[in-house]
Structure 1
């Protein structure tokens, strides 16, 4: 055989199967994961800093939005004094920082969830990816629904009850800015976080950690727990606001039972199909 004659036993390099693997399919080491985590945290920090800067730039407009619950109650009670005060000349700085940081966290939350999803998506199977997007969307919608419920319903209700009691006893209320914004943020963020529990229940049933029958069996115990949560989140000890908060949680618990049963049936159908 001539040296220039092609050898059929050893095909050319062009015909050899490619051994290249796409970056997503390559196994990643510990340092690679740390680098991706670092990039995710940097993106979160950049978005958070930008939103905090925007809030600081439009601070007066943002403060107007935060003062809406107080002004809304004032429309019902013209004698209610809603001028916010600070205890010291430097107290305004802590108020501004609280507004910017808390507002930045709330408005950055959708981006945080997006970046988190991008970080964990490569490690998930196709089946798990189908669960990821609805989970992230549901988490965001539940949090925003809870935050809106706290902002539009619970905070004005708390102010209303507090004013009625102070007026009954003949007291004059001085609304300090730091106390008011602490109340507002605690209730908005607390209620928003509390509204996430149905999603946790559905995920627990999906992973087989709890059965739907167990949720139904301990329904009464769950209602007691919800009233305890309502008592912790709502700053006033009156039963009106606590009940006002606990009732939506009870409905969400029932919705979680229904959703868990639906997800369980669909999971079994996919496994058998």
Structure 2
């Protein structure tokens, strides 16, 4: 007779991890299936910031035969992952929560929730603020006689890189809070390194964005401001102590 693995054993943890990963995959597939019918509309919404500033008489093109089919579905799958992030993080939380002390749970729960909102905020900032500015700039500096006709696959790769860069950069306050809470660094030490942080923000902006000064600056300045926000919020978080909690969740 087949016995159920002990949940406290290594095999039990691996089985639970597998089950939660399967739930995450199923959740993404369900969201993707619900959005697949609207794939073309989703891509049209993504292309709106560029189409709004293209010169009259020009449009986007597809240089690959299969691009008109695969590009919208690729975007839809990524959108499905983004929409399923709260559920994915919930499954991650359910997996690690039993190993945390009560004080750690009270700290991590709001951080998981706020990190999700910050990631969405980074994507929204890129779409509503950055895209209109950089696309208007790019189209305005095109040399005379050059017809702007952006490939839909290239455009998708471009905006996804920016979405990832801005979504990741908006997690800076969470990273600072975790570093200070874990004792890896102090708030005073970070404040003293502010000039280096600002330079590092512009270097990361150069590495994470396409090679143009405008998008690099639009990423570096929010990163610096988010660093200041995380530094200010860190005064409300006490560093982690080495004393074990009186009780640990089973």
Q: What's the TM-score bracket when you normalise by the shorter of the two chains? A: 0.7 to 0.9
| Mapped partners of 1:36, 1:250: distance in 2 | 40
| CA-based RMSD | 2.2
Q: Residue 11 of structure 1 corresponds to which residue in structure 2?
A: none
* 1:186 counterpart = 2:166: no
Could you tell me the TM-score, scaled by structure 1's length? Answer: 0.81
Q: Residue 82 of structure 2 corresponds to which residue in structure 1?
A: 106
Runs of at least 5 residues in structure 1 that lack an aligned partner in the other structure: 1-25
Deviations 1:26-84 (A, max 9, x none): 9700011011101110110001101111221211321222122123334xxx5372x22
Q: CA 1:80/1:117 → structure 2, altered by over 3 Å: closer, same or farther?
A: farther
1:52 to 20, 32, 56: 32
Q: Residue 3 of structure 2 corresponds to which residue in structure 1?
A: none
| Mapped partners of 1:72, 1:118: distance in 2 | 44
The answer to whether the Cα contact below 8 Å between 1:230 and 1:246 also exists between their aligned partners in 2 is yes
* 1:161 counterpart = 2:144: no
Q: Residue 210 of structure 2 corresponds to which residue in structure 1?
A: 235
| Mapped partners of 1:71, 1:169: distance in 2 | 19
Specify which structure has the bigger relative contact order, considering alpha-carbon pairs within 8 angstroms and separated by 6 or more residues.
2
Q: Residue 53 of structure 2 corresponds to which residue in structure 1?
A: 73
Deviations 1:96-121 (A, max 9, x none): 34212221221111111111111111
2:126 to 150, 154, 165: 150
Could you tell me the TM-score, scaled by structure 2's length? Answer: 0.87
The answer to whether the Cα contact below 8 Å between 1:47 and 1:108 also exists between their aligned partners in 2 is yes
Q: Residue 41 of structure 2 corresponds to which residue in structure 1?
A: 61
The answer to whether the Cα contact below 8 Å between 1:85 and 1:174 also exists between their aligned partners in 2 is yes
1:236 Cα deviation after fit: 4.2
Is the radius of gyration larger for structure 1 or structure 2? 1
| Mapped partners of 2:144, 2:153: distance in 1 | 24
Q: Which runs of 4+ in 1 moved over 6 A?
A: none
- Aligned residue pairs total 238
Q: Residue 90 of structure 1 corresponds to which residue in structure 2?
A: 66
Deviations 1:140-173 (A, max 9, x none): 111011111111111222211211111x443111
| Mapped partners of 1:121, 1:72: distance in 2 | 47
The answer to whether the Cα contact below 8 Å between 1:155 and 1:187 also exists between their aligned partners in 2 is no
The answer to whether the Cα contact below 8 Å between 2:53 and 2:139 also exists between their aligned partners in 1 is no
* 1:251 counterpart = 2:228: no
The answer to whether the Cα contact below 8 Å between 2:210 and 2:216 also exists between their aligned partners in 1 is no
Q: Residue 139 of structure 1 corresponds to which residue in structure 2?
A: 115
